[in-house]
Amino acid sequence: MRDHVKGGALTEVTFYILLALFTPRHGYAIAQFIEDATQGRLVLGAGTLYGALTALEQRGWIALTEQQGRKKEYVVTPLGKDAARRELNRLRQLTMTAAKIMEEKA
């Protein structure tokens, strides 16, 4: 996983997975949420999704809530919510800076 935690930046996929899991979801529902939220711009393959879920679970950012056979349901943890909130704040700062610069130079 290529998240730059030291600098605060998350990958877009990680951020969307955390957002998806503010409501408990299983793998397919997570992928569908992301595809819908991005209007089809991001479509996750199974390998990408399940690799990211494993890494996020190891970090303590998501947790398994239920398992029925091979179907696993996950939810974001308080640590994951903190990471998502930090990313939202970083993105807000970035867009405010960009807007200010672009408006000055328009």
Tell me whether residue 48 is in a domain: yes
Asked whether the whole model's pTM tops 0.75, one would answer: yes
* Per-residue pLDDT, 12: 95
- pLDDT (tens place) for every residue of the chain, 106 residues total: 555 555 679 999 999 999 999 999 999 999 999 999 999 999 999 999 999 999 999 999 999 998 888 889 999 999 999 999 999 999 999 999 999 999 987 6
In this structure, are residues 49 and 37 in contact, taking their beta carbons and an 8 Å threshold?
no
Does a structural domain hold residue 28? yes
Domain count, the chain: 1
In a domain, 7, yes or no: no
3-state class of 31 per DSSP?
A: helix
Residue 1 forms part of a structural domain: no
